[in-house]
Structure 1
Amino acid sequence: MKRQIGVLTASLLILSGCGTSQTASGDPGAIFAGAAIGGNVGGAIGGLIGDNNGGWRGGYRGSAIGTIIGTIAGAAIGNAVSAPKQETYGYRIERTEPYKPQHETYPAPSVFDNLRIRNIRFIDDSRDHVISSGEKSKVIFEIMNEGEQTIYNVVPMVTETTGMKRIYISPPVMVEQIAPHNGVKYTATISAGERIKTGNVTIRVAVADGNGQQYDWQEFSLPTER
């Protein structure tokens, strides 16, 4: 009987979450497992408490109530653990201009031509998408290898192109290799000095080879504030 109560309660929780991703966005299997464990534990504890206070009738009643409460709590934990994680407050940078190769003087194509920058995100401490004095922020992006060969010694680059003073960007870290049809996620930190100017700053995100030659790239502008 208690098992039927737990299963019914978990089923109602999942069905009630069909209309909203915030209620039951996790794996149904994980929700049922959490509900079963929570129901068993809640039923046992509730039965002991009820038995001490009201005999076997109180124990049965306490066990039933404990099963319901434990099932709800267990289902909520299972949903929270299995729900997909999302980046909050990320400012997505859309590609606003076509790819412009930076190596027209090279006589032959390079495997680096197959690298593409995707999913650029900018996240600042205040989440207002403004670089303020003394603030730290991050630029996160992916580098994908769309070719058929492994590419070695890939250098992700994040630079400031407008000459704004007191903008400090973390130095690039070389990626040893990117396999065909695979990618890497890269994060660069941006620190603003205490007395930056109010205006706008342009950030360039690029991918380069070991010699510093840039290939696919994207620029975007952000306001700055003292």
Structure 2
Amino acid sequence: MKKCFVGFLALVAVCSGCGTSQMASGDPGAIFAGAAIGGNVGGAIGGLIGDNNGGWRGGYRGSAIGTIIGTIAGAAIGNAVSAPKQEEYSYRIERTETCKPKPEAYPAPSVFDNLRIRNIRFIDDDRDHIITSGESSKVIFEIMNEGNQTIYNVVPMVTEITGMKRIYISPPVMVEQIAPRNGVKYTANISAGDRIKTGDITIRVAVADGNGQQYDWQEFSLSTRR
């Protein structure tokens, strides 16, 4: 009974500390479970060590100390396992209305019609969402195949369509294939040369076939600063 009370006090101390620290991000259930298991294991090991060194009194003290240490360690492990992972800070581009070329541009249906662009992110070096002279940034997005056939030779495209000078975007890399109901994540690097103009640019994110025909795209604006 006393051993359980010692473990309870240790657990209360751990949880009260969590309330004011970053450790509190884990699942409370996992933290309590880890603390209970750690307390039991620590108490058992501490008791055996204490018995060998100081008889039953040493065993009792060893068990109490082991319970405290095991409870704290178990709670920490439970928290670490269940804590959510922080995503890289980025500027999320909200999807606008679906953009499609005019029907006369490709009258025949194509499997590429099933490709969709999702989850666009823009990340720049200083995280202010403004492209400044000499700064590097990147656009990250997903291309999903919502159809029932594998689509081959998919070309992700990122272009600057306002004609701003000294904005450099990495060339597209063809994706060999995207299976049905699957997708790929693509990253394009953007770098700004020295002395770019202060203003606004428009970035187009698109998906095309091997001939350059675009089937889904989105556009968003970013500010630039010299």
TM-score by length of 2: 0.78
What corresponds to 2:112 in structure 1?
Answer: 112
d(CA) in 2 for partners of 1:36 and 1:7? 12
d(CA) in 1 for partners of 2:13 and 2:111? 54
Q: 1:155-193: CA deviations, max 9, x gaps? A: 111111111222221221111111111111111121222
Q: CA deviation at 1:108?
A: 0.6
Give the secondary structure class of the aligned counterpart of 1:117: strand
1:218 partner letter:
Q
1:136 partner letter:
S
Give the secondary structure class of the aligned counterpart of 1:212: coil
Q: Does 1:146 align with 2:135?
A: no
Q: Does 1:220 align with 2:202?
A: no
1:201 partner letter:
I
d(CA) in 2 for partners of 1:196 and 1:39? 64
d(CA) in 2 for partners of 1:198 and 1:46? 71
Q: CA deviation at 1:83?
A: 2.7
**Compared CA separation, residues 141 and 5, structure 1 to 2 (3 A):** farther
Is residue 102–residue 213 contact of structure 1 (8 Å, CA) maintained in 2? no
Give the secondary structure class of the aligned counterpart of 2:186: strand
What corresponds to 1:205 in structure 2?
Answer: 205
d(CA) in 2 for partners of 1:47 and 1:162? 75
Number of equivalent positions: 223
d(CA) in 1 for partners of 2:58 and 2:96? 68
What corresponds to 1:125 in structure 2?
Answer: 125
Give the secondary structure class of the aligned counterpart of 1:171: coil
Identity, % of aligned pairs?
Answer: 74
Is residue 102–residue 215 contact of structure 1 (8 Å, CA) maintained in 2? no
Q: CA deviation at 1:224?
A: 1.0
- Structure 1's consecutive aligned runs of 4 or more residues displaced over 4 angstroms after TM superposition are 1-14, 26-31, 41-49, 54-59
Instruction: Map 1:147-186; keep pairs closer than 5 Å.
Output: 147-186=147-186
**Compared CA separation, residues 205 and 32, structure 1 to 2 (3 A):** same
Q: CA deviation at 1:82?
A: 3.5
**Compared CA separation, residues 41 and 65, structure 1 to 2 (3 A):** closer
Give the secondary structure class of the aligned counterpart of 2:60: helix
Is residue 116–residue 144 contact of structure 2 (8 Å, CA) maintained in 1? yes
Give the secondary structure class of the aligned counterpart of 1:23: helix
Q: Which moved more, 1:69-78 or 1:5-14?
A: 5-14
Q: CA deviation at 1:146?
A: 1.0
Is residue 151–residue 177 contact of structure 1 (8 Å, CA) maintained in 2? yes
Q: CA deviation at 1:68?
A: 2.5
d(CA) in 2 for partners of 1:157 and 1:42? 60
Structure 1 alignment gaps of length 5 or more? none
What corresponds to 2:190 in structure 1?
Answer: 190
Q: Which moved more, 1:140-149 or 1:27-36?
A: 27-36
Give the secondary structure class of the aligned counterpart of 1:104: helix
Q: CA deviation at 1:59?
A: 6.0
Which structure's CA Rg is the greater one? 2
What corresponds to 2:97 in structure 1?
Answer: 97
Is residue 145–residue 179 contact of structure 1 (8 Å, CA) maintained in 2? yes
Structure 2 alignment gaps of length 5 or more? none
Q: 1:54-97: CA deviations, max 9, x gaps? A: 98646634542443344233322332234332424221111223
**Compared CA separation, residues 153 and 5, structure 1 to 2 (3 A):** farther
Is residue 46–residue 59 contact of structure 2 (8 Å, CA) maintained in 1? no
What is the aligned-residue RMSD (CA, Å)? 3.9
Is residue 199–residue 223 contact of structure 1 (8 Å, CA) maintained in 2? yes
